[in-house]
């Protein structure tokens, strides 16, 4: 019906000049409403993707977040080193299992910490343990070079008990650092990692305490 009406109007208006133009324009506009609506809707669609919530969350950080990443990285590195010392020095399956869990959890976290610092335009973390004493300069729970040398020289039950004692202290320090990040940090992803560290390492501390000789 619509096409017939418009065609008849076009024929009737063929000799009317300007009026014909107006009539034809009216037909054309009437029939194009849906197309215009589609074009309007299309033009309102974003042509580029807005930054994801995850990207925005990663971009937000403060000094506490930077300190957490820079200090937790070498702290984790030493825990991984201690976990690797288990190989060939003990036959205790519980300690071997704990060491494997520590290495598998903290290795990927180190990678994430390094990536955050790069994204934030901050200096890369260092694994230089030189001069880091127990609880020194915010590195709570860190072993000295002599501690690590002494541990590496042990084996059997002696190694087991020394390793448990040192790792409990090391985990306790990590939890302190993580709690500082939870309280003072602004980056939600870093705070989530800190929460995971608190929960997982406290569980491991409980397990290790149960394995210690009274």
Query: CATH second-level architecture of 56-211?
Result: Up-down Bundle (1.20)
Contacts of 204 (CB under 8 A, 6+ apart): 98, 101, 102, 167, 171
Q: Does the predicted TM-score (pTM) go above 0.75?
A: no
Query: In 3D, which of 210, 78, 64 has the Cα closest to residue 140?
Result: 78
Instruction: Give me the tens of pLDDT residue by residue for the chain, a chain 214 residues long.
Output: 443 444 443 433 344 343 333 333 444 444 444 443 443 443 334 444 444 555 665 679 999 999 999 999 999 999 999 999 999 999 999 999 999 999 999 999 999 999 999 999 999 998 765 444 444 444 789 999 999 999 999 999 999 999 999 999 999 999 999 999 999 999 999 999 999 999 999 999 999 999 998 8
pLDDT of residue 171: 98
Query: In 3D, which of 101, 105, 79, 60 has the Cα closest to residue 197?
Result: 105
pLDDT of residue 127: 79
Contact 129, 74 (CB under 8 A): yes
Q: What residues are paired with 136 via a beta bridge? A: 139
Contact 204, 191 (CB under 8 A): no
For 158, phi and psi rounded to 5 degrees?
Answer: -60, -45
Contact 24, 10 (CB under 8 A): yes
Token pair 């019906």 is found at: 1
Torsion angle, alpha carbons of 94, 164, 66, 137, to 10: -170
- Pick left, alpha or beta for residue 135 (phi over 0 → left; psi -120 to 50 → alpha; otherwise beta): left
CA atoms within 13 A on the CB side of 128: 5
Write out 71-101 in H/E/C secondary structure: HHHHHHHHHHHHHHCCCCCCCCHHHHHHHHH
Task: Output the six-digit token pair for 77.
Answer: 């590195």
| C-alpha distance from residue 17 to each of 11, 21, 197 (Å) | 12, 7, 82
Q: Where in the chain is the domain with CATH 1.20.1260.10?
A: 56-211
């Amino acid at each position: 019906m619509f096409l017939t009406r418009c065609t008849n109007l076009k024929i009737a208006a063929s000799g009317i000049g300007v009026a014909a133009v107006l009539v034809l324009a009216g037909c054309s506009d009437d029939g194009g409403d849906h197309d215009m609506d589609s074009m309007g809707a299309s033009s309102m669609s974003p042509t580029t993707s807005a930054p994801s919530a995850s990207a925005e969350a990663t971009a937000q950080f403060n000094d506490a977040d930077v300190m957490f990443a820079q200090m937790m990285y070498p702290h984790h590195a030493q825990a991984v080193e201690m976990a690797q010392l288990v190989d060939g020095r003990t036959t205790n399956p519980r300690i071997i299992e704990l060491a494997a869990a520590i290495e598998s959890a903290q290795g990927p976290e180190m990678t994430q910490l390094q990536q955050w610092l790069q994204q934030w335009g901050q200096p890369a973390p260092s694994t230089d343990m030189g001069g880091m004493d127990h609880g020194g300069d915010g590195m709570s729970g860190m072993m000295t070079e002599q501690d690590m040398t002494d541990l590496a020289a042990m084996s059997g039950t002696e190694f087991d008990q020394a390793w448990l004692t040192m790792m409990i202290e090391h985990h306790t320090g990590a939890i302190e650092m993580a709690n500082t990040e939870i309280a003072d940090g602004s980056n939600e992803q870093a705070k989530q990692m800190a929460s995971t560290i608190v929960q997982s390492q406290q569980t491991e501390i409980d397990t290790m305490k149960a394995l210690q000789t009274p």
